[in-house]
């Protein structure tokens, strides 16, 4: 039997970087990994592109694929021989936000979520407070100083909702700084953990009868995470993503979680680019923390997902 695993996460949560680094690890064989690739993927070109950017120390591009194709990595546990297909929805990140923000889910995503035996979700540690990005605070401060409204978010997959009026599209001249009206509530601006929890809840909600699954939570950007040297990934999640952490704690009948801290990029780009590309074995840029994973082995959490749950 081949296990079906799925990679999910909101825009900018670190999915593409992880996939690029994972692909490099299993094809380059520079360092030991728990899993190996069994055969080529159906969409090699997509992986090659990600991998090239990762090697060059470039940030991943947002998903612009109009067909929103899915890509799959086929892997095998070197020790047990167990095999799994890791489906990676090459979707606009917005698709993952829709269950919470718009009350619906793309059919193909829903079917894959429901069919999955295990799931990896991502949250990016560069946002220690989940609902505000530090970069956005700069925008707010400078726009207040300049007397203009907040800037349009410039991030990755954040296509704006077709359902929600965009307050930034107004054409009137901006109000003076002191009297900026509060922006209209846009459900896509909800904190990331609310959206993640809703995605998880949806998987077990009617018409599904609910089944227990393993879940890996990847805290990406671990190199830049606040208090990463002091906290375990579990403790970090409990402190900085309390809703998600408590949801998992109180729903242990449905979710068997393991939390990992991952630096798939190895540093902050573009700041650390020169340092990263100078590392002779690119696989050594990668770091993972948690549950006995070998330092560079991003396949360790996937291996855990593939293994039958210990009773
Ligand atoms: N510091 C640091 N930043 C990272 C790491 N991985 C991803 N990022 C950053 O997180 C942001 C989102 O990453 P990306 O992989 O494009 O996320 P996606 O939208 O979920 O595919 C980008 O700005 C990346 O540069 C990492 O290991 N360390
Ligand atoms: Mg991406």
Determine the pLDDT at residue 230.
Answer: 95
Q: Are residue 49 and residue 80 in the same domain, yes or no? A: yes
- What is the reported pLDDT for 65? 58
Rounded Cα distance, 214 and 42, in Å: 26
Same domain? For 27 and 42 the reply is yes
What distance in angstroms lies between residue 205's CA and the mean position of ligand 2's atoms?
Answer: 27
Ligand 1 pocket at CB < 6 A: 9, 11-17, 59-60, 93, 122, 124, 126, 156-157, 220-221, 223-224, 263-265, 267-269
61 CA closest ligand 1 atom index: 16
User: Please, which pLDDT band fits residue 166 given cuts at 50, 70 and 90?
Assistant: very low
Quick one: which of 9, 22, 25, 34 has its CA closest to 305? Answer: 34
Residues 51 and 114 in one domain: yes
Domain end among 154, 170, 187: 187
Ligand 1 test: best mutation among 6, 11, 15, 17, most atoms within 8 Å of CB? 17
Ligand 2 centroid to residue 274 C-alpha, Å: 23
Domain membership of residue 311 (yes or no) is no
Q: Read out DSSP for 76-105?
A: EETTT--EEEEEEE---THHHHHHHHTS--
Q: Per the structure, how many domains does the chain have?
A: 2
For residue 18, report the distance from its CA to the centre of ligand 1, in Å.
8
- For the stretch 250-283, pLDDT in tens is 999 999 999 999 999 999 999 999 999 999 999 9
Cβ distance 89 to 45 under 8 Å? no
pLDDT band with cut points at 50, 70 and 90 for residue 2: confident
Q: Is there a single domain that holds both residue 169 and residue 284?
A: no
Q: How far apart are alpha carbons 225 and 219 in whole angstroms? A: 9
Same domain assignment for residues 62 and 83: yes
Residue range(s) defining the domain that contains residue 163: 136-187
Residues 108 and 201 both lie in one domain: yes
CATH number, domain at 236? Answer: 3.40.50.300
Q: Does the pLDDT at position 104 exceed 60?
A: yes
256 membership: H or E segment, kind and range: strand 255-263
Where a domain ends, among 149, 171, 187?
187
Residue 242 lies in a domain: yes
In a domain, 102, yes or no: yes
Counting Cβ atoms within 10 Å, is residue 240 exposed (0-12), middle (13-18) or buried (19+)? buried
Q: Determine the distance from the C-alpha atom of residue 311 to the mean position of all C-alpha atoms in its chain, rounded to a whole number.
A: 29
Do 174 and 75 share a structural domain? no
Distance 100 CA to ligand 1 centre (A): 22
The verdict on 200 and 180 lying in the same domain is no
Q: Are residues 81 and 9 part of one domain?
A: yes
Instruction: Please indicate, yes or no, if residue 179 is contained in any of the structural domains.
Output: yes
Ligand 1 center to residue 241 CA distance, Å? 18
Does 108 share its domain with 173? no
pLDDT at 25: 95
Shared domain for 164 and 212, answered yes or no, is no
**Of the ligands numbered here, which is closest to the C-alpha atom of 12?**
1
Output the average pLDDT for the chain: 85
Taking only the tens place, the pLDDT of each residue in 21-79 is 999 999 998 999 999 999 888 788 888 989 999 999 999 887 665 556 688 999 999 99
């Amino acid at each position: 039997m081949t296990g079906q695993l799925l990679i999910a996460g909101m825009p900018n949560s670190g999915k593409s970087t992880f996939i690029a680094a994972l692909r490099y690890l299993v094809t380059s064989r520079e360092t030991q990994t728990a899993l190996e690739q069994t055969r080529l993927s159906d969409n090699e070109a997509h992986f090659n592109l990600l991998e090239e950017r990762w090697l060059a120390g470039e940030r991943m591009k947002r998903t612009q694929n109009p067909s929103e194709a899915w890509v799959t990595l086929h892997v095998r546990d070197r020790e047990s021989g167990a095999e799994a297909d890791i489906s990676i929805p090459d979707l606009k990140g917005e698709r993952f936000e829709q269950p919470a923000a718009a009350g619906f889910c793309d059919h193909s995503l829903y079917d894959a979520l429901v069919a999955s035996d295990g799931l990896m979700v991502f949250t990016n540690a560069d946002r220690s407070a989940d609902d505000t990005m530090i970069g956005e605070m700069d925008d707010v401060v400078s726009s207040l100083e300049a007397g203009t409204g907040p800037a349009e978010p410039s991030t990755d997959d954040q296509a704006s909702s077709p359902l929600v009026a965009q307050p930034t599209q107004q054409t009137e001249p901006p109000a003076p700084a002191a009297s900026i009206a509060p922006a209209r509530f846009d459900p896509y601006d909800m904190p990331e953990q609310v959206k993640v929890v809703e995605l998880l809840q949806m998987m077990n909600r009617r018409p599904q009868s609910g089944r227990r699954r393993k879940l890996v939570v990847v805290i990406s950007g671990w190199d830049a995470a606040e208090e990463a040297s002091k906290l375990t990934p579990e403790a970090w999640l409990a402190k900085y993503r309390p809703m998600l952490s408590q949801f998992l704690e109180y729903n242990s009948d449905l979710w068997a979680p393991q939390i990992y801290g991952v630096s798939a990029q190895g540093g902050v780009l573009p700041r650390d680019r020169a340092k990263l590309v100078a590392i002779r074995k690119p696989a050594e840029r990668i770091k993972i923390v948690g549950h006995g994973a070998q330092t560079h082995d991003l396949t360790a959490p996937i291996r855990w997902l593939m293994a039958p749950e210990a009773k």
